Amino acid sequence: MEAHKIIVAIFILALASSLTLASDPSPLQDFCVAINDPKGSVFVNGKFCKDAKLAKADDFYFSGLHIRKNTSNTFGSTVTPVNVAQMPGLHTLGISMVRIDYAPNGGLNPPHTHPRASEILVVLEGTLHVGFVTSNPDNHLISKVLYPGDVFVFPVGLIHFQYNIGNTYAVAFAGLSSENPGVITIANAVFGSNPSIDADILAKAFNLDRKMVKNLQSEF
């Protein structure tokens, strides 16, 4: 009986530990402004910290999210990130954000995942069809058409997208639950990896002709 209790206790502790590690760790100090110089610095969560006494307002500041970005590209969308790379004061705070611009009539933020963050998105301009797909075995599509002022959330790690179905530019802002959420664009990762995934593997995985796979790979 005692052995059973010990096993249950270990299981609960393991579960609690996994939940604790499911997002950025909580900071043990007010802030940790990320710097590249290791001299006289503390190393926290993958980056060196500036001496807190030397922190300045610009470490916690970013300007430019009011500017519409050029969407003349393959997908008709542009993502402007504000994460720890752009704002070093975000380090250890567990948050970041992006502005997303979409071209009229089909601007697409293509199917992708954020391996380290959930995302909450608010539409400022335009009309977006958004959605995410649940994990195996259901692979259930949950989608919605959003208008200005509407908010939608994408759970961590799940494939999701946004698509401009309107005839005007669309703009959205999104918050993410990590200073460095990461992004994996599905098509780029699968067909544009370096080095390339063997065409026979992709042909079998996607039930495609090998020649078609090679053509797709040449596009990325």
Binding-site positions read 109, 112, 114, 119, 160
154 confidence band (pLDDT: 50, 70, 90)? very high
Binding-site positions for Mn(2+) read 112, 114, 119, 160
Average pLDDT of the segment spanning 1-7? 52
Q: How far is CA 155 from CA 61, 94, 146, in A?
A: 27, 15, 17
pTM: 0.84
Binding-site positions for oxalate read 109, 114, 119
Average pLDDT of the segment spanning 11-28? 52
Q: Which residues 6+ apart lie within 8 Å of 211 measured at CB?
A: none
| Interatomic CA distance for residues 168 and 104, integer angstroms | 5
Q: What confidence score (pLDDT) does residue 25 get? A: 64
12 confidence band (pLDDT: 50, 70, 90)? very low
23 confidence band (pLDDT: 50, 70, 90)? low
The pLDDT tens digits of the residues spanning 27-82 come to 667 888 888 877 756 777 778 888 888 899 999 999 999 999 999 999 999 999 99
Domains and CATH numbers, the chain: 1-182 (2.60.120.10)
Nearest to 149 by CA among 128, 131, 178, 177: 128
Q: Residue 9: pLDDT above 90?
A: no
The average confidence (pLDDT) of the chain is 89
Question: Alpha carbon 31 to chain centroid distance?
Answer: 22
Q: What confidence score (pLDDT) does residue 19 get? A: 44
| Interatomic CA distance for residues 155 and 118, integer angstroms | 5
The pLDDT tens digits of the residues spanning 83-94 come to 999 999 999 999
